[in-house]
């Protein structure tokens, strides 16, 4: 009986899961124009502490809520805000990020970026990366509850889900607009945990 159990353990141990080293994983963090954009600083810090290379890509509106310099300092990588930030003339920087990404995480994700992604628009680097990458995409919405529940947003979310895009949140609570209800950005630690889960799942698929 003991030999039989040992044999089973040996067979189990022989099935190794090959994992990408944590430091080798690149997370492209998209930040859009929501009051919740300030939470991207904490999210960046958590992702870096988890051992990932974090590359922040901001929309122009996001830069009105939080400084690119803040996120550059926390991520220890350049922050992209427009196509003209890209210095390499022979290869567009947003395509390099799209290819490098193990995960594209957009937090906060506004109704506008959700609509852009649903319709395949690429008018700024973040939307272009979403169109070009083959990495998993995770969106953490944050907006007014009426905007979140509007049929257009519901349709866009459903369209993205059929393409494999994942969502976390939003949650209910007091909103910046003064309303109370659904629309708040999900908790930062839970977003980071979900990102870690998707990265681990991708590792298992690769193995």
- pLDDT of the residue at 9: 43
Give the active site residue among 22, 177, 206, 207: 177
- pLDDT of the residue at 108: 97
Closest CA to 72 of 54, 46, 88: 54
- pLDDT of the residue at 12: 38
Q: How many CA atoms lie within 13 A of 84 on its CB side?
A: 1
**Per-residue tokens: 197:** 């889960």
Q: Return the bridge partners of 194, or none.
A: none
Band of residue 90 on the pLDDT scale cut at 50, 70, 90: low
C-alpha–C-alpha distance, residues 6 and 73, integer Å: 51
Q: Is the pLDDT of residue 37 over 90?
A: yes
pTM: 0.84
User: For this structure, is 83 an active site residue?
Assistant: no
Lowest mean pLDDT among 50-59, 67-76, 88-97: 88-97
Contact 114, 152 (CB under 8 A): no
CATH superfamily of 25-206: Flavin prenyltransferase-like (3.40.50.1950)
- pLDDT of the residue at 93: 84
3-state secondary structure of 149: helix
Which whole number is the average pLDDT over 3-14?
Answer: 42
C-alpha–C-alpha distance, residues 168 and 23, integer Å: 24
Q: Is the pLDDT of residue 8 over 80?
A: no
Question: Given 3-state DSSP classes, what are the helix, strand and coil percentages for the chain, each rounded to the nearest 5?
Answer: 50, 15, 30
Lowest mean pLDDT among 40-44, 92-96, 178-182: 178-182
The percent of residues in the chain predicted with pLDDT above 70, rounded, is: 78
Contact 57, 126 (CB under 8 A): yes
Closest CA to 137 of 98, 104, 172: 104
C-alpha–C-alpha distance, residues 137 and 120, integer Å: 14
CA distances, 65 to each of 38, 148, 197 (Å): 7, 21, 29
Which whole number is the average pLDDT over 154-167?
Answer: 98
């Amino acid at each position: 009986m003991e030999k039989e159990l040992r044999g089973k353990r040996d067979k189990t141990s022989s099935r190794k899961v090959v994992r990408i080293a944590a430091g080798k994983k690149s997370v492209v963090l998209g930040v859009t124009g929501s009051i919740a954009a300030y939470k991207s600083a904490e999210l960046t810090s958590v992702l870096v502490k988890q051992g990932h290379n974090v590359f922040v890509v901001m929309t122009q509106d996001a830069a009105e809520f939080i400084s690119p310099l803040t996120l550059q300092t926390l991520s220890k990588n350049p922050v992209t805000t427009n196509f003209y930030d890209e210095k390499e003339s022979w290869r567009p920087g947003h395509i390099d990020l799209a290819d490098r990404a193990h995960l594209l995480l957009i937090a906060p994700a506004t109704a506008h970026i959700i609509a852009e992604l649903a319709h395949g628009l690429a008018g700024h680097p973040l939307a272009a990366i979403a169109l070009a990458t083959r990495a998993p995409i995770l969106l953490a919405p944050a907006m007014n509850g009426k905007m979140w529940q509007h049929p257009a947003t519901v349709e866009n979310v459903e369209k993205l889900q059929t393409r494999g895009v994942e969502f976390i949140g939003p949650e209910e609570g007091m909103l910046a607009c003064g309303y109370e209800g659904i629309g708040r950005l999900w908790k930062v630690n839970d977003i980071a945990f979900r990102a870690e889960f998707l990265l681990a799942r991708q590792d298992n698929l690769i193995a």
